[in-house]
Copies of this chain bind each other. A is one copy, B any other.
Amino acid sequence: MTTPIDLLIEARWIIPIEPANVVLENYAIAVDKGRIVALLQQNEARTRFSPREIKQLPHHILIPGLVNLHTHAAMTLLRGLADDLPLMDWLQNHIWPAEAKHVSAQFVHDGTLLACAEMLRGGTTCFNDMYFYPKATAQAALSCGIRAVIGLITVDFPTSYAADPDDYLTKGIAARDELIDNPLLSFCIAPHAPYTVSDRNFTKALALAEQCDLPIHLHLHETIQEIEDSQQRFGMRPIERLRRLGLLSPSLIAAHGIHVNENEIALLAEHGCSIAHCPSSNLKLASGIAPVSALTDKGVNIGLGTDGAASNNRLDMFQEMRLAALLAKGSSGKADTVGAHQALHMATLGGARALGIDAEIGSIVMGKSADLCAISIDRVELSPCYDPVSLVVYAAGREHVSDVWVAGNIRLANNHLLETNEIELIKLATLWQNQVCPLDV
């Protein structure tokens, strides 16, 4: 007697992430109603299940869908607008003025569509976003069939989106109430950063997060200037300020976390906070190099983020995985820190755990959602293969992602995006580009 299921995926290699440091050869994943119902040997799978569909991946490595723990998806429309500038110059003289002039619900919707296409193509099945017009972000994500964690942003300054801190939070909660029934969506409260959010606003954001049982997503200790300004304005470093305000908890997702001293690392560990490590963006804006080796040694949970495409300039989690592993070694002097498996863990389960959705995604385990990414390794640049985990992290790139599923639904099939017309999307991006800043070389 075989059990009928929706889908059986047979892969040459499967890296389940849990248990750690395991690679399964010639295993299969049984998927039904969007969930992983079994992970077992291929010959056993064929006798136990009668799948409506079988997907064979004979030259592939299957991993959990990647989790982009920190991004501003809509900023893809500003990709490459202003490069080679420090954070504050970049923000104050380029990004913020461009945003003030152009950002609208339509901008956010269109930019997020572009971002989702790029992310799905590259094996990212879930992203944690922070931007204006979060409802537009959510709607674009839903239309692409990608999982999204929508940041309900608040900042002290007004924008076209909201007039004041309370208005931001009210609008955010209204968007969440409207969208809460979508199983691919979840939400964070997102007070932007210590330098843009007052104590009062933080306190209100925290109360709301606790009331709605939502994580808090913010920028933290990204630059030395942020810390010096905080010392001048508040008489303390931002982490200490957040501690006093009660924000340090397992619900806190701190993006960047670059300039953290030993005491602060201990504090983050003690309170169970997570870091969204963004190695490309941290380097590109010359913000610095996060002490990832020390953070992981103390047990701080780490996920990986691309940040926005304006400071990366990719939404490419393969790039962040590789760079996270390499940079941790090069900056600590320890070649055995952040190995390939650990980097892959950060890009999957580490992100899921930070978001509080690790019961749902982040590893290939029975009962979890079938968010999966297949990597085709039948390529000269991926030959030979002594170790599939090393191959994924150090040699493979997003271009090798062949198939992607979100909650059991195929979104990328044989390198072809199913929900997106890429040619139309490129035209749309060009329209926005011509509006923001016509190319003049």
A residues touching B (Cβ–Cβ < 8 Å)?
13, 23, 25, 76-77, 79-81, 83-87, 89-90, 114, 117-118, 121-122, 280, 282-289, 309, 312-316, 323, 325-327, 329-337, 339-340, 378-381, 383-388, 390-391, 394-395, 397-399, 420, 422, 425-426, 429-430, 432-433, 436-437, 439, 441
Contact = CB atoms under 8 A, between A and B. Distances in A.
B380 A80 contact: no
A441 B23 contact: yes
A383 B285 contact: no
B383 A90 contact: no
Contact of A79 (B121, B325, B386): B386
A80 B386 contact: yes
A394 B289 CA distance: 18
A84, A340, A420 pick with most chain B CB within 10 angstroms? A84
A436 B77 CA distance: 48
B426 A395 contact: no
The complex is assembled from copies of this chain, and their number is 2
Contacts of A287: 330
A333 B380 contact: no
A436 B385 CA distance: 11
B121 A380 contact: yes
B387 A441 contact: yes
Contacts of A25: 441
Nearest to A309: B395
A430 B429 CA distance: 42
A405 to B, nearest CB: 19
> Of A83, A117, A280, A391, which is in contact with the most chain B CB atoms at under 10 Å from its CB?
A83
Among all A-B residue pairs, the 3 with the closest Cβ atoms: A283-B330, A384-B433, A399-B399
Nearest to A333: B286
A121 B329 CA distance: 29
Contacts of A312: 394
Given A84-B329, A288-B333, 10 more contacts: A121-B380, A121-B381, A286-B329, A288-B330, A313-B391, A380-B425, A383-B426, A383-B430, A384-B432, A386-B437
19 contacts: A80-B387, A81-B386, A87-B335, A89-B335, A284-B326, A284-B329, A286-B335, A288-B333, A313-B394, A313-B395, A314-B381, A323-B323, A327-B327, A381-B398, A384-B432, A387-B439, A387-B441, A397-B397, A397-B398
Contact of A380 (B118, B379, B384): B118
Given A283-B326, A381-B121, A383-B426, A83 B331 contact: no
A83 B380 contact: no
B426 A387 contact: no
Given A114-B380, A287-B330, A441-B25, A83 B394 contact: yes
A83 B339 contact: yes
Given A23-B441, A283-B330, A429 B84 contact: no
Nearest to A285: B335
B394 A85 contact: no
Given A333-B288, A426-B378, A83 B323 contact: no
B390 A336 contact: no
Contact of A383 (B114, B289, B329, B385): B114
A72 to B, nearest CB: 16
B314 A387 contact: no
With a 10 A CB-CB cut-off, give which of A80, A287, A398 has the most chain B CB atoms: A80
Contacts of A399: 397, 399
A286 B330 contact: yes
Contacts of A386: 79-81, 433, 436-437, 439
A122 B89 CA distance: 34
B314 A77 contact: no
Contacts of A284: 325-326, 329-330, 335, 394
